[in-house]
Amino acid sequence: THFGFQKVAESEKASKVRGVFSSVASSYDVMNDLMSFGLHRLWKAFTVQIAGVRAGDRVLDVAGGTADLSLAFAKKVGPSGQVWLTDINHAMLSRGRDRVVDKGFLLPVAQCDAEKLPFPDNHFDCVTVAFGLRNMTHKDQAIAEMRRVLKPGGRLLVLEFSKVWKPLAPAYDFYSFKLLPMMGEKVARDADSYRYLAESIRMHPDQESLKTLMEEAGLSRVEYFNMTAGVVALHRGYKL
Ligand code: SAM
């Protein structure tokens, strides 16, 4: 049946995503720097700046992976605040937890699905998800969950690949469909995962569609900031 087919496709996506991140976990940080020419550091720094997080705040990093954002937020909230590092994938989360400890921080860590967050309602001042939403099967449900755990007045930040400025599209396509898998093969011996990366970016909602998704999930004052000609966009919305 149609529903049967949908169920198979959904569970296939979830298991593909699991396979991809288990496979890339060990080379993830090196590849991030290489593939983005180090730009992901600037995109994340801007995210932290826009978040308006203060000392003592509670922050949830969803799909936090190797903990770049969690670490940056831990410095902002200080000892009176709290940052949770969470991810669905054990291999990514272990690397994240090790990095947190290596940098001298002690953060709570939880392995969980963004679509079913194990946190109470109205709990966090800020929820962030960086390069994670496009991997989620039910984006609307994940956004609704992230909104649920926000306190009234809290904000959700979504950093994600987006739709690039049209004149640059041919060069970007060549880069991501041809060069990226080649780099994945050379450096990480894993062309397939990097092919998945390029495909998942193309399938992800563009700037306006994601803004609408966030509004439909009940977030207010939603706006977005394009970075690097729309290669990446940062969306911000409030729970009011
Ligand atoms: N946030 C990190 C960063 O910006 O470097 C990691 C991003 S990595 C590209 C995507 C992460 O999303 C992976 O660690 C993956 O395990 C996680 N992920 C995928 N589906 C998820 C889900 N349903 N719930 C939570 N995390 C998920």
pLDDT of residue 188: 82
Gap from CA of 87 to ligand 1 centroid (Å): 6
CA distance 4 to 1: 5
Gap from CA of 16 to ligand 1 centroid (Å): 13
Pocket test for ligand 1, best of 10, 60, 87, 159 (most atoms within 8 A of CB): 87
Pocket test for ligand 1, best of 88, 157, 190, 194 (most atoms within 8 A of CB): 88
| Tens of pLDDT, residues 32-44 | 898 899 999 999 9
pLDDT of residue 184: 86
pLDDT of residue 209: 98
pLDDT of residue 7: 56
| Higher-pLDDT residue of 235, 31 | 235
Topology at the third CATH level for domain 2-164+207-238: Rossmann fold (3.40.50)
Q: Does 2 score more than 80 pLDDT?
A: no
Decide whether any atom of ligand 1 lies within 6 Å of the 68 Cβ: yes
pLDDT of residue 193: 86
The complex's ipTM?
0.99
Instruction: For residue 92, give both structure tokens.
Output: 């990514």
Is residue 23 very low, low, confident or very high in pLDDT (cuts 50, 70, 90)? confident
pLDDT of residue 3: 45
Mean pLDDT for the chain overall: 93
pLDDT of residue 166: 95
Is residue 1 very low, low, confident or very high in pLDDT (cuts 50, 70, 90)? very low
| Tens of pLDDT, residues 158-189 | 999 999 999 999 999 999 989 988 988 988 88
Residue 104, exposed/middle/buried by CB under 10 A (0-12, 13-18, 19+)?
A: exposed
Decide whether any atom of ligand 1 lies within 6 Å of the 145 Cβ: no
Ligand 1: residue whose CA is nearest its atom 4:
130
SS (H, E, C) the chain: CHHHHHHHHHHHHHHHHHHHHHHHHHHHHHHHHHHCCCHHHHHHHHHHHHHCCCCCCEEEEECCCCCHHHHHHHHHHCCCCEEEEEECCHHHHHHHHHHHHHCCCCCCEEECCCCCCCCCCCCEEEEEEECCHHHCCCHHHHHHHHHHCEEEEEEEEEEEECCCCHHHHHHHHHHHHHHHHHHHHHHHCCHHHHHHHHHHHHHCCCHHHHHHHHHHCCCEEEEEEEEHHHCEEEEEEECC
Decide whether any atom of ligand 1 lies within 6 Å of the 131 Cβ: yes
| Tens of pLDDT, residues 107-160 | 999 999 999 999 999 999 999 999 999 999 999 999 999 999 999 999 999 999
Is residue 28 very low, low, confident or very high in pLDDT (cuts 50, 70, 90)? confident
Is residue 6 very low, low, confident or very high in pLDDT (cuts 50, 70, 90)? low
| Domain assignments of the chain as residue spans, ordered by start | 2-164+207-238
The minimum-distance atom of ligand 1 relative to the CA of 92 is 14
pLDDT of residue 77: 98
